[in-house]
Amino acid sequence: MRKSAMKNTVDAVRDFWDARPLLVGEIEQPVGTRAWFEEFDRIKTNDGFCGDLTGWVPLDADNKRILDLGCGPGYWNRLFGKLNVEYYGIDISPKTVELAELSQQLYGLPGQIAVGNAEQIDFPDEYFDYVVSEGVIHHTPNTQGCIDEIYRVLVQGGRAAIGVYYRNFIFRSPFLFRQVLGAMRFLKVTMKGRGRERMAWADTPEDFVRMFDGADNPIGKAYTIVQLRQMFRHFSEIRFARYCLPLRMVKDNIPNCLHKLIASRFGLMILVKVKK
């Protein structure tokens, strides 16, 4: 299904992630088992973050009230559950929330998890000390609305770590974009499953990042640093760091130090660290 034939609505986003929760169908272990969650965490940490969560978990997390915006199957809950924090997680997909709640039960984790919309966060003003949202707000119609909501629910001086797709120099150049996709097709570099085998035939950068999470994914957006500075302009501090180089797209592993170095230069995503 081509993007032009899709409905770019919150309901369409919910339906997609309900049908295809993150990494379901890509992990061999039975979904919802401890082994499945362990493999999920291994892929997420090593493939997505190159084994380095610096910048995502606050050093002063003790006794903080934390919102996991777009919590998925509970990755951050399993990490923050080891710390002395007050954890809240919301996700637009009821099926995904069921997985996150199952993870809580399996691991005996504290915290509250519920179905929720990042465009309209159902919490009072200045309620959270910290918000983490990785790979979420670029998949919803009103991304600016999500950022405004994050600002609203943060206490004064509160911080957030937000990951979105980055419109890098390849995405900004139609010529380079076509050349890279041609090289991907020649070398057979792709992501398997969820219909992503056609990623190298994407028409636009938006189509490419949309298909990164599945061919039927209704929304995918990538942003430049200039755009992100404007979108986060109400925050008092803003910093950026590149990350995410999925080794699943190639056959051979590379050393972790090299993986991290390349991701910091050519990563598909960008971490936006802000302070209210």
Q: If you ran DSSP here, which 8-state letter would residue 274 be given?
A: E
pLDDT of residue 82: 85
Non-local (6+) Cβ contacts of 87 within 8 A are 66, 68, 77, 80, 81, 109, 110, 111, 112
Q: Where are the domains of the chain?
A: 3-168+220-275
Residues in the chain with pLDDT < 70?
A: 1-6, 247-253
Cβ–Cβ under 8 Å, residues 132 and 66: yes
The first and second tokens of residue 88, run together, are 């809240």
Q: What pLDDT score does 51 carry? A: 84
Classify domain 3-168+220-275 at the CATH topology level.
Answer: Rossmann fold (3.40.50)
What count of Cα atoms within 13 Å lies in the side-chain half-sphere of residue 268?
A: 22
Q: How far apart are CA 218 and CA 216, in angstroms?
A: 6
Crossing angle, helix 94-107 and helix 10-19, to 10 degrees?
A: 50
Question: For 176-219, what is each residue's pLDDT tens digit?
Answer: 999 999 999 998 887 778 888 889 999 999 999 999 999 999 99
On the 0-12 / 13-18 / 19+ scale of CB atoms within 10 A, 102 is middle
The SS3 call for residue 55 is: coil
Total residues found in the chain within this entry = 276
In the beta sheet, which residues pair with residue 272? Answer: 162, 240
